[in-house]
Chains A and B, each alone.
Chain A
Amino acid sequence: MRTDDLIARLTDDLAPVKGGTAQRLLLTAAALGLLSSAALMLAVLGLRYDFDTAITSFGMWTKLVYTFVIAGLGLWTVERLGRPGAGAARPVALLALPVLAILLLSAWQMAAPHADMDALVLGHSSRVCAANVLLVALPTLAAAFWVLRRLAPTRPALAGAGAGLFAGAAGAFIYAFHCTEGAAPFIAIWYTLGIVLTAGVGAVLGRFLLRW
């Protein structure tokens, strides 16, 4: 086909694109992903038995705030990486804030008199935590890939890692409703590991699934 004919064809059936289409796609995907991750967590792992009292505990809120902030920055990263010519430096740099906060809180808890290091660092579920976060994150990862495939990620592996960052943090947020740990060092190590693991899986998958 001649290029002129192609241009004529593309312009003839031009449909308007509503402003904010990409944002709507992202929010829809985020909502669907979170709901599916929550359903998966409830079906496979179950809500923590002491949820009624735990929801007001400091440990629960440490987990929720830490993972929520990272998930928000992750979603922002996905939005940037889905647009050609847009850089993701700002949301990625801002990740330093929640990480720094959890490290400071960890240091403070570990420096307390009579601190039980094993309980703070390993808890009772350090072996399964990161893997569970990854598992719970998978539906959200699929949703993030779905939206990226509708945008135009020019760096597929990086965009996949961004999707994994968002999905890992969202998965950790959901997993926090099952897990009974609440010590900052535990969260700083194992929750973060789960998020990083998901980002790694996203990067590998992105290389193959985000081509266009």
Chain B
Amino acid sequence: MIAQEAQYREWMLAALAGDGTAYRMLLAALTRHLRSYFARRLDSGAEDAVQETLIAIHTRRASYDPGLPFTAWVHGIARYKLIDEYRRRRRRATVPLDEARDLFGHDEAGEAIARRDVEQLLAKLPSARQQLVRDVKLDGIPVADVAARTGMSESAVKVAVHRAVKSLGEFAKGAVGGKGKGHADG
């Protein structure tokens, strides 16, 4: 049984009864799981897949049977959207047989550590670049919006983010290389 099952199911049942607040909390929580699920499986367009999955969860919520695990239902939809994405890109014919555990199973603590690591690396960047990476990569704000807000052109934003991510990669390599050589290029 997935740890969050009881909480999420409770929110879902409230949402089906029309409770918007429970629904908002549910979708926010699911978004975090979906983000890491798609980010680990798609090399681009993960945020689009997250949004498509959220829309599918919304429009097909009548297909949830309260007698069945809610996490399995969400995983079924997420996996379907993943397969759909692979098919559209014609990149891979088969999808790994993952289970609901793969969507919900990763522990929040691990995610918090990863987030802290990223923050430490980000701190080494100039603050303007930090903000760009935060907006585009962590918060999923579309490049066009960031460009409009900062007054930069879209391509300038893309280049800046790309360079920043590259230097983050180098910082990370430096950090790993310092601990144990030979594993840095794994």
Chain A contact residues, CB within 8 Å of chain B? 1-3, 6-8, 10-12, 14-17, 19, 21-22, 25, 82-86, 150-152, 154, 211-212
Contacts and interface: CB of A to CB of B under 8 A. Distances in A.
Contacts of A84: 63, 72-77, 80
A86 B15 CA distance: 21
B64 A7 contact: no
Interface of A is mostly: loop
Contacts, number: 95
Contacts of B31: 3, 7
A85 B66 CA distance: 12
Contact of A7 (B28, B61, B73, B76): B28
B140 A2 contact: yes
A139 to B, nearest CB: 24
Contact of B142 (A2, A10, A12, A152): A2
A83 B64 contact: yes
Nearest to A2: B141
Q: How large is the interface on B (under 10, 10 to 19, 20 to 34, 35 or more residues)?
A: 35 or more
A10 B62 contact: no
Nearest to B18: A16
Nearest to B17: A16
Interface stretch (B46-54, B154-162, B171-179): B46-54
Contacts of A3: 31, 47, 50-51, 54, 140
A14 B22 CA distance: 11
12 contacts: A2-B141, A3-B47, A3-B54, A11-B24, A25-B62, A83-B76, A84-B63, A85-B74, A85-B75, A86-B65, A86-B72, A152-B77
A152 B52 CA distance: 14
Contacts of A151: 60, 62-63
Nearest to A25: B62
Contact of A10 (B58, B73, B100): B58
